[in-house]
Amino acid sequence: MVKSLKMDRIRRKSVQVNQELTKTRLLEEGKNLPLVIEPNMDGVNICEWAKGNREELNALLSKHGGILFRGFKVEDTKDFHSFIRQVSGELLEYKDHATPRSAVQNQIYTSTDFAADQWIELHNEMAYGQEWPMKIFFYCDIPAFSGGETPIADSRRIYERMDPTIREKFTEKGVMYVRNLGLSLGMKWQDVFQTNDKGLVEEICQKNGMNYIWKSDEHLRIEQVRPAVSLHPITGENIWFNQITAFHITTLAREIREEILHQYDEQDVPKNSYYGDGTSIEPEVLDQIRKVYEEEMLTFPWEKGDILMLDNMMTAHARTPYEGERKILVGMTESNSWKI
Protein backbone atom coordinates (compact mmCIF):
# COMPACT_ATOMS: atom_id res chain seq x y z
CA MET A 1 0.00 0.00 0.00
CA VAL A 2 2.38 2.70 -1.26
CA LYS A 3 0.32 5.70 -2.26
CA SER A 4 1.61 8.55 -4.37
CA LEU A 5 2.20 11.95 -2.84
CA LYS A 6 1.13 15.35 -4.06
CA MET A 7 4.66 16.75 -3.89
CA ASP A 8 6.73 16.30 -7.06
CA ARG A 9 10.25 14.97 -6.72
CA ILE A 10 13.06 17.48 -7.19
CA ARG A 11 16.72 16.86 -7.82
CA ARG A 12 19.01 17.20 -4.80
CA LYS A 13 21.97 19.48 -5.36
CA SER A 14 25.46 19.16 -3.90
CA VAL A 15 26.03 22.28 -1.82
CA GLN A 16 28.02 23.52 1.17
CA VAL A 17 27.06 25.78 4.03
CA ASN A 18 29.15 28.93 4.48
CA GLN A 19 32.18 27.64 6.38
CA GLU A 20 33.44 31.05 7.51
CA LEU A 21 30.62 31.67 9.98
CA THR A 22 29.79 28.07 10.87
CA LYS A 23 31.32 24.63 11.22
CA THR A 24 29.70 21.25 10.73
CA ARG A 25 30.22 17.80 12.21
CA LEU A 26 28.31 14.60 12.81
CA LEU A 27 27.03 14.27 16.37
CA GLU A 28 28.14 10.66 16.58
CA GLU A 29 30.85 8.98 14.54
CA GLY A 30 29.41 6.52 12.03
CA LYS A 31 25.89 7.99 12.24
CA ASN A 32 24.56 10.03 9.34
CA LEU A 33 22.03 11.68 11.64
CA PRO A 34 22.04 14.41 12.87
CA LEU A 35 24.41 16.86 11.27
CA VAL A 36 25.50 19.47 13.82
CA ILE A 37 25.99 23.09 12.74
CA GLU A 38 27.69 25.47 15.19
CA PRO A 39 28.86 29.08 14.91
CA ASN A 40 32.56 29.65 14.33
CA MET A 41 32.47 32.89 16.26
CA ASP A 42 30.33 34.87 18.68
CA GLY A 43 27.53 37.04 17.42
CA VAL A 44 26.34 34.98 14.44
CA ASN A 45 22.67 35.85 13.96
CA ILE A 46 21.06 32.49 13.27
CA CYS A 47 18.03 34.00 11.53
CA GLU A 48 20.02 36.16 9.13
CA TRP A 49 22.50 33.37 8.52
CA ALA A 50 19.71 30.86 7.85
CA LYS A 51 18.02 33.22 5.40
CA GLY A 52 21.21 33.37 3.34
CA ASN A 53 21.74 29.61 3.44
CA ARG A 54 18.20 28.30 3.01
CA GLU A 55 18.87 26.28 -0.15
CA GLU A 56 22.01 24.73 1.29
CA LEU A 57 20.28 23.81 4.56
CA ASN A 58 17.39 22.12 2.78
CA ALA A 59 19.83 20.11 0.67
CA LEU A 60 21.72 19.02 3.79
CA LEU A 61 18.44 18.07 5.43
CA SER A 62 17.58 15.83 2.47
CA LYS A 63 20.94 14.12 2.88
CA HIS A 64 21.05 13.71 6.67
CA GLY A 65 17.40 13.79 7.68
CA GLY A 66 18.09 16.05 10.66
CA ILE A 67 20.21 19.06 11.60
CA LEU A 68 21.04 20.16 15.14
CA PHE A 69 21.84 23.86 15.47
CA ARG A 70 23.88 24.27 18.64
CA GLY A 71 25.71 27.19 20.24
CA PHE A 72 23.77 29.96 18.50
CA LYS A 73 22.13 32.71 20.50
CA VAL A 74 18.45 31.78 20.47
CA GLU A 75 16.80 33.67 23.29
CA ASP A 76 13.08 33.06 23.04
CA THR A 77 10.08 31.80 21.11
CA LYS A 78 10.24 34.81 18.80
CA ASP A 79 13.74 33.87 17.66
CA PHE A 80 12.64 30.27 17.14
CA HIS A 81 9.63 31.35 15.08
CA SER A 82 11.76 33.70 12.97
CA PHE A 83 14.31 30.98 12.31
CA ILE A 84 11.64 28.55 11.09
CA ARG A 85 10.19 31.16 8.73
CA GLN A 86 13.60 31.95 7.26
CA VAL A 87 14.37 28.27 6.61
CA SER A 88 10.96 26.90 5.66
CA GLY A 89 8.30 29.59 5.33
CA GLU A 90 4.95 29.89 7.06
CA LEU A 91 4.18 27.63 10.01
CA LEU A 92 1.29 25.18 10.07
CA GLU A 93 -1.55 25.07 12.53
CA TYR A 94 -1.65 21.83 14.54
CA LYS A 95 -4.89 20.11 13.53
CA ASP A 96 -6.28 16.58 13.91
CA HIS A 97 -4.65 16.27 17.32
CA ALA A 98 -3.46 12.87 18.51
CA THR A 99 -1.35 14.12 21.40
CA PRO A 100 -2.06 16.90 23.91
CA ARG A 101 -0.21 20.13 23.11
CA SER A 102 -0.56 23.70 24.29
CA ALA A 103 -0.44 26.63 21.89
CA VAL A 104 2.30 29.11 22.81
CA GLN A 105 2.08 31.72 20.04
CA ASN A 106 2.04 32.02 16.25
CA GLN A 107 1.76 28.26 15.51
CA ILE A 108 4.43 27.42 18.08
CA TYR A 109 3.32 24.68 20.50
CA THR A 110 4.65 22.70 23.41
CA SER A 111 6.18 19.52 22.01
CA THR A 112 3.76 17.46 24.12
CA ASP A 113 1.83 17.75 27.36
CA PHE A 114 1.95 13.98 27.84
CA ALA A 115 2.84 12.81 31.36
CA ALA A 116 6.51 13.27 32.22
CA ASP A 117 6.95 9.73 33.51
CA GLN A 118 5.79 8.14 30.25
CA TRP A 119 7.86 7.10 27.23
CA ILE A 120 6.69 8.25 23.78
CA GLU A 121 7.82 5.81 21.12
CA LEU A 122 9.48 6.64 17.82
CA HIS A 123 7.02 7.96 15.26
CA ASN A 124 6.71 10.26 12.27
CA GLU A 125 4.60 13.26 13.14
CA MET A 126 0.95 12.98 12.02
CA ALA A 127 1.61 9.92 9.84
CA TYR A 128 -1.92 8.83 10.78
CA GLY A 129 -3.41 11.82 8.96
CA GLN A 130 -4.40 12.70 5.43
CA GLU A 131 -1.94 15.60 5.75
CA TRP A 132 1.31 15.90 7.66
CA PRO A 133 4.23 18.36 7.94
CA MET A 134 7.32 17.68 5.85
CA LYS A 135 9.47 19.53 8.38
CA ILE A 136 9.27 19.63 12.16
CA PHE A 137 11.40 21.89 14.38
CA PHE A 138 12.16 21.54 18.10
CA TYR A 139 13.57 24.26 20.34
CA CYS A 140 15.01 23.67 23.78
CA ASP A 141 14.04 26.54 26.07
CA ILE A 142 14.49 24.61 29.33
CA PRO A 143 16.22 21.21 29.35
CA ALA A 144 14.92 18.73 31.91
CA PHE A 145 16.92 18.09 35.07
CA SER A 146 17.09 14.43 34.07
CA GLY A 147 15.95 12.67 30.89
CA GLY A 148 13.53 14.34 28.51
CA GLU A 149 15.62 13.72 25.42
CA THR A 150 14.12 13.60 21.93
CA PRO A 151 15.58 10.41 20.41
CA ILE A 152 15.67 10.25 16.62
CA ALA A 153 16.10 7.50 14.02
CA ASP A 154 16.57 7.37 10.26
CA SER A 155 13.36 6.09 8.63
CA ARG A 156 15.38 4.91 5.62
CA ARG A 157 17.54 2.71 7.82
CA ILE A 158 14.48 1.40 9.65
CA TYR A 159 12.92 0.42 6.34
CA GLU A 160 16.09 -1.32 5.21
CA ARG A 161 16.52 -3.24 8.45
CA MET A 162 12.90 -4.26 8.96
CA ASP A 163 12.14 -7.94 8.50
CA PRO A 164 11.08 -8.24 4.82
CA THR A 165 8.00 -10.28 5.77
CA ILE A 166 6.82 -7.55 8.14
CA ARG A 167 7.65 -4.83 5.67
CA GLU A 168 5.79 -6.52 2.83
CA LYS A 169 2.70 -7.19 4.92
CA PHE A 170 2.44 -3.54 5.97
CA THR A 171 3.19 -2.44 2.41
CA GLU A 172 0.25 -4.52 1.21
CA LYS A 173 -2.24 -3.83 3.99
CA GLY A 174 -1.21 -0.44 5.38
CA VAL A 175 -2.03 0.46 8.98
CA MET A 176 -5.33 1.39 10.60
CA TYR A 177 -5.21 4.04 13.32
CA VAL A 178 -8.19 4.00 15.67
CA ARG A 179 -9.11 6.73 18.12
CA ASN A 180 -12.00 6.78 20.57
CA LEU A 181 -12.65 10.39 21.52
CA GLY A 182 -14.74 11.69 24.39
CA LEU A 183 -14.04 8.95 26.93
CA SER A 184 -13.13 9.64 30.54
CA LEU A 185 -9.55 9.08 29.35
CA GLY A 186 -7.82 10.62 26.36
CA MET A 187 -8.87 13.52 24.16
CA LYS A 188 -12.31 14.93 23.38
CA TRP A 189 -13.53 15.21 19.81
CA GLN A 190 -14.20 18.92 20.35
CA ASP A 191 -10.48 19.45 21.01
CA VAL A 192 -9.25 17.24 18.17
CA PHE A 193 -11.48 18.89 15.55
CA GLN A 194 -11.56 22.31 17.24
CA THR A 195 -15.32 22.64 16.90
CA ASN A 196 -18.54 21.72 18.73
CA ASP A 197 -20.41 21.20 15.44
CA LYS A 198 -20.97 17.49 14.76
CA GLY A 199 -21.90 18.22 11.17
CA LEU A 200 -18.58 19.94 10.60
CA VAL A 201 -16.76 17.02 12.25
CA GLU A 202 -18.43 14.60 9.83
CA GLU A 203 -17.53 16.83 6.90
CA ILE A 204 -13.87 16.90 8.00
CA CYS A 205 -13.86 13.11 8.39
CA GLN A 206 -15.30 12.54 4.93
CA LYS A 207 -12.89 14.99 3.35
CA ASN A 208 -9.88 13.34 4.98
CA GLY A 209 -10.70 9.69 4.45
CA MET A 210 -11.74 8.91 8.03
CA ASN A 211 -14.41 6.39 8.92
CA TYR A 212 -16.44 7.67 11.85
CA ILE A 213 -19.01 6.21 14.24
CA TRP A 214 -20.89 8.15 16.88
CA LYS A 215 -21.06 5.70 19.80
CA SER A 216 -22.86 8.37 21.81
CA ASP A 217 -23.17 12.15 21.82
CA GLU A 218 -19.73 12.44 23.39
CA HIS A 219 -18.03 9.25 22.20
CA LEU A 220 -16.72 9.40 18.63
CA ARG A 221 -14.74 6.54 17.10
CA ILE A 222 -12.59 7.36 14.07
CA GLU A 223 -10.60 5.00 11.88
CA GLN A 224 -7.90 6.10 9.44
CA VAL A 225 -6.20 3.63 7.08
CA ARG A 226 -2.87 4.97 5.85
CA PRO A 227 0.27 3.60 4.21
CA ALA A 228 2.96 2.35 6.59
CA VAL A 229 5.75 2.80 4.04
CA SER A 230 6.32 5.39 1.35
CA LEU A 231 8.76 6.87 -1.12
CA HIS A 232 10.35 10.12 -0.03
CA PRO A 233 9.01 12.82 -2.40
CA ILE A 234 12.38 14.56 -2.76
CA THR A 235 14.95 11.75 -2.75
CA GLY A 236 12.78 8.85 -3.94
CA GLU A 237 14.11 6.62 -1.14
CA ASN A 238 12.00 3.98 0.58
CA ILE A 239 11.01 5.01 4.11
CA TRP A 240 9.22 3.52 7.09
CA PHE A 241 6.63 6.24 7.73
CA ASN A 242 4.02 5.54 10.38
CA GLN A 243 2.97 5.53 14.03
CA ILE A 244 2.32 1.80 14.37
CA THR A 245 3.81 1.26 17.83
CA ALA A 246 3.19 4.77 19.18
CA PHE A 247 -0.57 4.30 18.63
CA HIS A 248 -0.72 0.70 19.79
CA ILE A 249 -2.17 -0.04 23.23
CA THR A 250 1.08 -1.82 24.15
CA THR A 251 2.95 1.48 24.06
CA LEU A 252 1.47 2.19 27.50
CA ALA A 253 3.05 0.97 30.71
CA ARG A 254 1.58 -2.39 31.76
CA GLU A 255 -0.25 -1.10 34.83
CA ILE A 256 -1.85 1.73 32.83
CA ARG A 257 -2.74 -0.61 29.97
CA GLU A 258 -4.34 -3.14 32.29
CA GLU A 259 -6.40 -0.45 34.02
CA ILE A 260 -7.66 0.87 30.66
CA LEU A 261 -8.55 -2.63 29.43
CA HIS A 262 -10.38 -3.20 32.71
CA GLN A 263 -12.59 -0.20 31.92
CA TYR A 264 -12.98 -0.60 28.14
CA ASP A 265 -13.07 -3.29 25.48
CA GLU A 266 -10.00 -3.26 23.26
CA GLN A 267 -11.89 -1.65 20.37
CA ASP A 268 -12.91 1.23 22.67
CA VAL A 269 -9.54 2.22 24.15
CA PRO A 270 -8.42 5.81 23.44
CA LYS A 271 -5.87 4.82 20.77
CA ASN A 272 -4.86 1.64 19.00
CA SER A 273 -3.41 0.44 15.72
CA TYR A 274 -4.15 -2.55 13.47
CA TYR A 275 -3.28 -3.80 10.04
CA GLY A 276 -5.15 -1.82 7.42
CA ASP A 277 -7.76 -4.57 7.08
CA GLY A 278 -8.61 -4.25 10.78
CA THR A 279 -6.87 -7.43 11.95
CA SER A 280 -4.67 -7.36 15.04
CA ILE A 281 -0.93 -6.84 14.79
CA GLU A 282 0.85 -9.84 16.26
CA PRO A 283 2.88 -9.25 19.48
CA GLU A 284 6.00 -10.69 17.85
CA VAL A 285 5.68 -8.20 14.99
CA LEU A 286 5.47 -5.29 17.43
CA ASP A 287 8.50 -6.70 19.27
CA GLN A 288 10.49 -6.88 16.04
CA ILE A 289 9.58 -3.32 15.05
CA ARG A 290 10.63 -2.06 18.47
CA LYS A 291 13.89 -4.01 18.25
CA VAL A 292 14.82 -2.24 15.02
CA TYR A 293 13.83 1.10 16.56
CA GLU A 294 16.04 0.50 19.57
CA GLU A 295 19.01 -0.43 17.41
CA GLU A 296 18.66 2.59 15.14
CA MET A 297 17.73 5.19 17.74
CA LEU A 298 20.18 7.95 18.66
CA THR A 299 19.70 9.85 21.91
CA PHE A 300 21.48 13.01 23.04
CA PRO A 301 20.91 15.48 25.89
CA TRP A 302 19.28 18.79 25.09
CA GLU A 303 21.21 22.02 25.67
CA LYS A 304 19.45 25.33 26.18
CA GLY A 305 19.08 27.14 22.86
CA ASP A 306 19.31 24.01 20.71
CA ILE A 307 17.18 23.86 17.57
CA LEU A 308 16.58 20.49 15.95
CA MET A 309 15.29 20.53 12.37
CA LEU A 310 13.94 17.22 11.06
CA ASP A 311 12.67 15.96 7.76
CA ASN A 312 9.53 14.40 9.23
CA MET A 313 9.26 11.66 6.61
CA MET A 314 12.93 10.77 6.70
CA THR A 315 13.37 10.88 10.48
CA ALA A 316 11.27 9.55 13.34
CA HIS A 317 11.39 11.07 16.82
CA ALA A 318 10.45 10.05 20.36
CA ARG A 319 10.59 11.35 23.94
CA THR A 320 12.13 9.83 27.03
CA PRO A 321 10.63 10.20 30.53
CA TYR A 322 12.03 13.06 32.57
CA GLU A 323 12.28 14.78 35.92
CA GLY A 324 12.19 18.49 36.65
CA GLU A 325 10.90 21.33 34.50
CA ARG A 326 11.17 20.79 30.75
CA LYS A 327 10.18 23.19 28.00
CA ILE A 328 10.67 21.95 24.46
CA LEU A 329 8.70 23.84 21.81
CA VAL A 330 7.73 22.68 18.34
CA GLY A 331 6.81 24.23 15.00
CA MET A 332 5.83 22.50 11.76
CA THR A 333 5.94 23.53 8.09
CA GLU A 334 5.33 22.43 4.50
CA SER A 335 2.15 20.37 4.46
CA ASN A 336 2.07 17.26 2.30
CA SER A 337 -0.76 14.79 1.74
CA TRP A 338 -1.83 11.51 0.21
CA LYS A 339 -3.77 11.61 -3.02
CA ILE A 340 -7.35 10.46 -2.47
Domain range 22-144+302-334, CATH architecture? 4-Layer Sandwich (3.60)
Instruction: Give the integer Cα–Cα distance in Å for 333 and 89.
Output: 7
Task: Dump pLDDT digits (tens) for 57-78.
Answer: 999 999 999 999 999 999 899 9
Average pLDDT, the chain: 93
How large is the average pLDDT for residues 122-138? Answer: 97
pLDDT band at 277 (very low <50, low <70, confident <90, very high): very high
Does the pTM surpass 0.85? The reply is yes
How large is the average pLDDT for residues 19-24? Answer: 86
79's enclosing H/E stretch is helix 77-88
pLDDT band at 10 (very low <50, low <70, confident <90, very high): very low
Q: Which alpha helices (H) appear in 149-296, and where do they start and end?
A: 155-161, 164-173, 189-193, 198-207, 244-247, 254-263, 283-296
Considering Cα of 301, then 142, then 140, then 252, what sign does the dihedral take?
Answer: positive
Packing angle, helices 54-64 and 77-88, rounded to 10: 90
158-293 CATH fold? Double-stranded beta-helix (3.60.130)
Closest CA to 16 of 56, 63, 58, 52: 56
Q: Where in the chain is the domain with CATH 3.60.130.10?
A: 22-144+302-334, 158-293
